[in-house]
Amino acid sequence: MTATRPKFSILLPTHNRCDVLGLSVQSVLRQTEADFELLIVADGCTDDTVAVVSRFADSRLRLFDLPKAAGFGYANRNRALREARGQYVAFAAHDDLWFPDHLAVLGGALDQTGAEWGYSQPLWVSTDGYVLPFFTNLALPDELQLFMTNANTIPAPCVVHTRRLLEEVGYWPEDVPEAADWRLWQRMLKATAGRAVFVPMATGLHFSARWRESRVSGGADGKMLLEIAERAAWWPTALKLQLAKGQTEQDAAWTVLTSRPDWVPAVRLAVSTVAGRIAWMAVRNLLPQLVAARGEASSAKQ
């Protein structure tokens, strides 16, 4: 990191998740791209968050221990971001984990293309350990339109954008009760005419937030993928974490992430397997409909 300007500013907001926060911080500090500052925003925390953060003796880390802001604490996030110095802005989450090459991969994609907003392929993790890939591709006009009007399918920890773009469009909206990240992505994509870099490779794990009280995030899409994972005999073993009794899904993921160097490559290969299987299932289900429609068309001509 240079004396005045690191390559990345990483925003990590947290509220009372000291049980898993340390793992998230470690996943950031283990990045192969080491040129960053880590801004941890404690939004009115009443647990041991400060004690957990104090265990990390790293000059790149800075804690903002702030009184609770309204809602999800978007105002506190902006307070930290206004002091950010990086060329790029990345987002971590207190209950999510990055793979070691997350910053290197996404930073490289933005460097090479000159784009100002990019994201990697999301992996959602259910509370019982199913790892579920999602395939949003904003380079496709219909998917971009759906993303802009329907719902957010790209978790914040998958996104990296330039500091310049943030200054142009404004910070996290503070006047919305939720989904401020999606509102910010919408503004950024409009400002760049939809130009986004999609890295079709997973670079981290996104877990269902405790407050959702749901097995998996991602709405109906997440539930559909979870149903496929549970029913498919072919579901890859790399995409199912083994949770010990009383163990959080983050603990299980961290154990395999740090003990098995082959796990991340296996996960990425497994994601390709899932994509291929789902595509084949779609073709097999669609084919009878096409044949029936062709027969109806032929009958109509006769």
pLDDT digits (tens, 9 = 90+) for 219-259: 788 899 999 999 999 999 999 999 999 999 999 999 999 99
Residue, of 218 and 257, whose pLDDT is higher: 257
* pLDDT higher than 70, residue 300: no
SS3 state at 88: strand
What pTM was estimated for this model as a whole? 0.92
Measured distance CA(107)–CA(111) in Å, rounded:
6
Confidence of residue 47 (pLDDT cuts 50, 70, 90): very high
Nearest Cα to Cα of residue 11 among 67, 85, 121, 68? 85
> Residue 297's pLDDT is what?
53
Q: How does the average pLDDT of the chain come out, rounded? A: 93
Burial 175-205 (b: 16+ CB within 10 A, else e): eeeeebbbbbbbbbbeebebebbbbebbbbb
Q: What is the rounded average pLDDT of the residues 136-148?
A: 94
Asked if 118 and 159 touch (Cβ cutoff 8 Å), the reply is yes
Protein fold of 8-289: Spore Coat Polysaccharide Biosynthesis Protein SpsA; Chain A (3.90.550)
Residues contacting residue 185 through CB under 8 Å, at least 6 positions apart: 117, 152, 154, 159
> Residue 219's pLDDT is what?
79
Asked if 206 and 133 touch (Cβ cutoff 8 Å), the reply is no
Burial 117-136 (b: 16+ CB within 10 A, else e): bbbbbbbbbbbebbbbbbbb
CA 246 to chain centre: 25
DSSP-derived secondary structure for 43-79: ES--SSHHHHHHT---TTEEEEEEPPPSTTTHHHHHH
- pLDDT tens-place string over residues 1-41: 445 799 999 999 999 999 999 999 999 999 999 999 999 99
Q: What are the tokens at 142?
A: 């219909």
